[in-house]
Structure 1
Amino acid sequence: MTVQRSYFTVLFFVKKSKPLKNGEVPICMRITVNGKRAEVQIRRSVEAECWNAQKECAIGKDRKHMELNHYLETVRTRVLQIHRELEQDGKPVTAEILKRNYSGGSDSPRMLVETFNEHNKQYRELMGRDYVRGTVLRYERTARYLGEFIRERFNTADIPLKDVDHDFIMRFERFIKVEKNCAQNATVKYLKNLKKVIKEALANKWITEDPFFGIHFKLTKSNRVFLTEDELQLIINKDFDIPRLAVVRDIFLFCAFTGLAFTDVQHLKHGHITVDSNGEYWIRKAREKTDNMCDIPLLDIPRMIMEKYKSHPTCIKKGVVLPVPSNQRMNSYLKEIADACHINKPLSTHVARHTFATIALANNVSIESIAKMLGHSSIMTTKIYARVMDKTISREMQTMRRKFAL
């Protein structure tokens, strides 16, 4: 008995009548079995003028088009493999069955944005326990950017996880930088968020290949702003007649002598202030961003500031140490303070934290102690904030200067 083999073809074509927002046209795959057709969107696109309809591939030898053509061959090979396996198992072979098997079998394929949103929902439920608000918002922003990118690139709301490959990641990186105007380090944070969700998908066996394999994140060195001791002294000595500027100046100085970040000083309560057996005052508070404990000795200036606002109505009402306004107002008023003190630097609440790390290092405080006070898990993080000032270099070169003096 002769077994009749099915007539089977795979064809790639573009839909010029449905161009995407980026000007490219989507590529589709048509599976034909015994005259019956089924079409599949393969989540790829190309410039219309770069498509060779006869050869069913992109024209050009550049990396982008070569990677696209390689992907098309991978898709074709996968469909051929599915067809062969169905025949070997004696199962029925139709265009719809091949389409369904290629798209993930009888079950719907696991989708990228849907999976990301499930991850973010879990993070939001644990916000305030395992994760801080800023981390949750960054993951949610990543998911939103992904959704916008997929709609612009593929003209659809979501794509299967298995369609995320090296090219997808590279294009998403460009989208974040160009469309969202993000700098390199911010872009890396969003890509790392995507990588975490992909790793979870690998662990759950929703996908079998890691699209991030061979991709390395490169952070650029940050040139963080800080104040010198002389500039800090200008702010200390300046008299402000406007009450709001005087308050913000005091809060800035408090942060510059304690290293507290804005959200930590905003929520600093008297219960976070302790006195040891030697009568020294300390701030002992877990950082809101990382939950790492900060142990900071209170110097005279922040102690005086703390006492100054003990009876302030806002402090009494909220049970806090200082009447800290919103971060937006703080930064706005700090610009006025910089102008009044003739400091040509963009002052912000975080500049105070950078200043603390830099001045502490310049005054022989060890990097380990600075890390402990800043609440850093790694000294490598502290090194980003710390700056070696000219006077430190000059002091450390005194021995050589004396030895080789003429």
Structure 2
Amino acid sequence: TFMQTAHNCKNNGAVNLLCCLKNFILYAIRNEWLEKNPFRYYKMKVDRTNVKVPLTKEELDTLIHKPLPNDRLARIRDVFSFCCLTGLAFTDVDHLRKEHITTDEDGTQWIHKPREKTSVLSRIPLLPHPIALLRKYERDETCRTRGKLLPVPSNAKMNAYLKEIATLCNIPKNLTTHCARHTFATLAIEYGMPIDIIAKILGHTNTNMTRRYAKISEANISREMKKIGEMLSA
């Protein structure tokens, strides 16, 4: 209640903070700094109606190709779509440098970058659109001055501008920087990419973490149901 009133946290944000506190309490108990667990009988409930909703392929296509009224929003759109097509988190695209881009013997360009959060290596083959975006900003003065490959603003500014973009594109979803990572994982699942491959791209150490990102869409459900129908009718 304190976090929701004094700090304007939503339910899920408050739950996330309490989970961090709970983990520290458990650590304190293991080290015998505390005798009792104050969280023992306290249940925290995540509001499942307010979780991050990824973009569909159609919504992502609209966002990528929509003419925008100014360069400010176009640059934000480019960074967001780059994340959607690579699975990079905001802090990782912000720290993306030339040394993280490599080319293999087949001519495929890759991102090989340790995640800022966990230091686990992400290995991402680049699709044509992300490659085009990197080329677009090769000679951008702001990027060159800051030693970055893309014009990444602060997280707060990007989230604010993404709301403008969502309105212009008629996308009825709360777009945030982290929504891009969920979008990549969900679309990869939808197109049949194995979960362990997605985990390598996202830099996850196990597939349980990846499953939290990937949402099962109606397209997946329909495709699998059709397989059962074909099997039963055979």
**Structure 1 and Structure 2 fold alike (TM over 0.5):** yes
Q: Secondary structure at the match of 2:139?
A: coil
**Cα distance change on mapping 1:255 and 1:214 into 2, 3 Å:** closer
Q: For residue 210 of structure 2, what is the aligned residue in structure 1?
A: 382
**Cα distance change on mapping 1:185 and 1:327 into 2, 3 Å:** closer
Q: For residue 184 of structure 1, what is the aligned residue in structure 2?
A: 15
Structure ID, larger Rg: 1
**Cα distance change on mapping 1:384 and 1:250 into 2, 3 Å:** same
Q: CA separation in 2, counterparts of 1:350 and 1:194?
A: 28
Q: Which runs of 5+ in 2 are unaligned?
A: none
What letter is aligned with 1:388? I
Q: For residue 294 of structure 1, what is the aligned residue in structure 2?
A: 122
Q: Secondary structure at the match of 1:282?
A: strand
Q: CA separation in 1, counterparts of 2:125 and 2:41?
A: 40
Q: CA separation in 1, counterparts of 2:174 and 2:15?
A: 21
Q: For residue 223 of structure 2, what is the aligned residue in structure 1?
A: 395
User: For residues 156-305 of structure 1, what are the structure 2 equivalents within 5 Å?
Assistant: 181=9, 183-200=14-31, 202=32, 207=33, 210-212=35-37, 215=40, 220=45, 223-305=51-133
**Cα distance change on mapping 1:211 and 1:343 into 2, 3 Å:** same
**How far 1:266 moved relative to its partner?**
0.7
User: For residues 67-86 of structure 1, what are the structure 2 equivalents within 5 Å?
Assistant: none
CA contact (8 A) 1:284 1:295 kept: yes
**Cα distance change on mapping 1:178 and 1:296 into 2, 3 Å:** same
**How far 1:232 moved relative to its partner?**
0.4
**Cα distance change on mapping 1:213 and 1:270 into 2, 3 Å:** same
**Cα distance change on mapping 1:214 and 1:347 into 2, 3 Å:** closer
What letter is aligned with 1:190? L
**How far 1:403 moved relative to its partner?**
4.6
Equivalent of 1:340 in 168, 171, 175 = 168
Q: CA separation in 2, counterparts of 1:308 and 1:389?
A: 33
What letter is aligned with 1:376? H
State TM-score, norm by structure 2: 0.88
Q: Secondary structure at the match of 2:37?
A: coil
Q: CA separation in 1, counterparts of 2:94 and 2:68?
A: 22
**How far 1:396 moved relative to its partner?**
1.8
After superposition, give the CA deviation of every residue in 1:160-213 in whole Å (9 maximum; x if it has no partner).
xxxxxxxxxxxxxx766776655323312222123324433x2xxxx5x63139
Equivalent of 2:199 in 368, 371, 375 = 371
What letter is aligned with 1:215? R
Q: For residue 356 of structure 1, what is the aligned residue in structure 2?
A: 184
Q: Secondary structure at the match of 2:112?
A: strand
Aligned length: 226
Moved more, 389-398 or 295-304: 389-398
Q: Secondary structure at the match of 1:258?
A: coil
Are 2:174 and 1:325 equivalent residues in the alignment? no
**Cα distance change on mapping 1:272 and 1:400 into 2, 3 Å:** same
Counting aligned pairs with the same residue, the percent is 42
What letter is aligned with 2:212? I
User: For residues 135-146 of structure 1, what are the structure 2 equivalents within 5 Å?
Assistant: none
CA contact (8 A) 2:22 2:39 kept: no
Q: Secondary structure at the match of 2:187?
A: helix
**Cα distance change on mapping 1:178 and 1:317 into 2, 3 Å:** closer
CA contact (8 A) 1:331 1:349 kept: yes
Q: CA separation in 1, counterparts of 2:16 and 2:160?
A: 25
Q: CA separation in 1, counterparts of 2:124 and 2:42?
A: 34
After superposition, give the CA deviation of every residue in 1:288-338 in whole Å (9 maximum; x if it has no partner).
111111111111111111111000011111221101111111111111100
CA contact (8 A) 1:362 1:389 kept: yes
After superposition, give the CA deviation of every residue in 1:340-373 in whole Å (9 maximum; x if it has no partner).
0000001111111110010011111111111111
**Cα distance change on mapping 1:248 and 1:382 into 2, 3 Å:** same
User: For residues 123-142 of structure 1, what are the structure 2 equivalents within 5 Å?
Assistant: none
**Greater per-residue strand proportion:** 1
After superposition, give the CA deviation of every residue in 1:260-280 in whole Å (9 maximum; x if it has no partner).
111110110011001111111
CA contact (8 A) 2:68 2:74 kept: yes
Q: Secondary structure at the match of 2:86?
A: coil
Q: CA separation in 1, counterparts of 2:60 and 2:42?
A: 36
CA-based RMSD of the aligned residues comes to 2.3
**Greater per-residue helix proportion:** 2
After superposition, give the CA deviation of every residue in 1:110-151 in whole Å (9 maximum; x if it has no partner).
xxxxxxxxxxxxxxxxxxxxxxxxxxxxxxxxxxxxxxxxxx
